[in-house]
Structure 1
Amino acid sequence: MTIEPFWVQVNEPTLRQGDYLPGCLVPVPVFDPTTFGKNDQIQDIEVEINEFDLIILNQSCDLENKKVRLVALSPIFSLSQFEEANPDFAKKGKWNEVLKGRVEGLHLLASPTNPANNREALVVDFREIYSLPYDYLVKYATEFSLRWRLKSPFLEHFSQAFARLFMRVGLPSAIPPFK
């Protein structure tokens, strides 16, 4: 079975939705209840600098027209990295549930280098979203001679999966099933 590649390599200074940016430095505030003083004002706050592989979530047209100061990104992991932090996903059949879109907030993408090997797939965790400055990411992206970018129609499928997470509506009741 031939699997069409999900990714294309690019070497350009522009950012697009679906750009894969490995090893980005991300400042993450450390919450400590003792940092709050009177009237819940923050006194001092500690910030950790974490390194993540990230994928761009913003629409390409907004990036191209510089309509965003901060770019939204989600972490992207190898299956083994994700399973190490989330052991339930190592269970048989769990990745098939993600593949079918039945696990909220997760999306699978084929490996850029070996799309036919499902164990080399990448998982995007839409449940974590980071914002980094546009200018920082442009500079960071240009440091790579080549980088990966999702191509159509896989890009649109990725975008749709992200949108589904936020467009869910929980109803207090439903029409009873037909018998």
Structure 2
Amino acid sequence: MTIENFWVQVNEPMLRQGDYLPGCLVPVFSPNFAENSDIQEVQVDEFDLIIVTQSCDLENKKARLVAMTPIYPVSEFEKINPAFAKKGRWNEVLKGRVEGLHLLASPTNPEDNRKALVVDFREIYSLPYDYLVKHATELGRRWRLKSPYLEHFSQAFARFFMRVGLPSSIPPFK
């Protein structure tokens, strides 16, 4: 079975929703971080991220900070979350039955589901627009989700945030 590629390569400074930006530096504040101190050290971690901010907001420079979520190869995600290495677990994610996770085909090998990428909507980072433009420019060629995979990705992100937990529900039918 031939799988259409979800991605297109771009080489431009313009940012869009669905841009895959590997190697982004993200500040991580310790619980002891205090605003009253003179100088403080802030840990910086490196993440591969994908943009979730709407393209129109980026294009019209309405977002000083860009919302992004981590994106991992399946094998790397399984190392951090061993429960996902169990047989059948990825099929649940693929069907949209695992809150906060979304699967995207590999940009380089879409037929191999073991090379797929996992987006984790449960973690969101906001990074400065100007930093990301500079980073994207330094990357040169990078991957960007193409339609309709971009819209599907955006819809999955929206579904995660529009959930409503009710204190009770209608009893099951018997």
TM-score, normalization by structure 2:
0.94
Q: Distance in 2 between matches of 1:104 and 1:145?
A: 33
For 1:69, the equivalent position in structure 2 comes to 64
- How far apart in 1 are the matches of 2:42 and 2:122? 20
Residue 45 of structure 1 deviates from its aligned partner by: 4.9
In the alignment, which of 142, 153, 157 is matched to residue 158 of structure 1?
153
Deviation at 1:42, TM superposition (A): 5.4
Q: Write the letter of the residue equivalent to 1:20.
A: Y
Residue 81 (structure 2) pairs with residue 96 (structure 1): no
Q: Using the alignment, how far apart are the partners of 1:139 and 1:150 within structure 2?
A: 20
- Structure-1 separation of matches of 2:12 and 2:66: 17
Unaligned runs of 5+ in 1: none
Residue identity over aligned pairs, in percent, reads 77
User: 1:112 & 1:90 partners in 2: Cα distance?
Assistant: 22
SS in 1 for 2:29: strand
Secondary structure at the residue paired with 2:49? strand
Question: Is the Cα contact below 8 Å between 1:29 and 1:45 reproduced in 2?
Answer: no
- Once residues 86 and 171 of structure 2 are traced to their aligned partners in structure 1, the CA distance between those partners, rounded to angstroms, is 34
In 2, Cα distance between the equivalents of 1:52 and 1:19? 14
TM-score (norm 1): 0.92
Partner of 1:106: 101
The number of residue pairs the alignment matches comes to 173
1:6 aligns with 2:2: no
Provide runs of 4+ in structure 1 moved above 3 Å: 41-46
In angstroms, what is the RMSD of aligned CA positions? 1.4
Q: C-alpha distance in 2, partners of 1:74/1:130?
A: 6
Aligned residue number for residue 172 of structure 1? 167
Taking the aligned partners of 1:30 and 1:178, their CA distance within structure 2 comes to: 49
- Aligned residue number for residue 21 of structure 1: 21
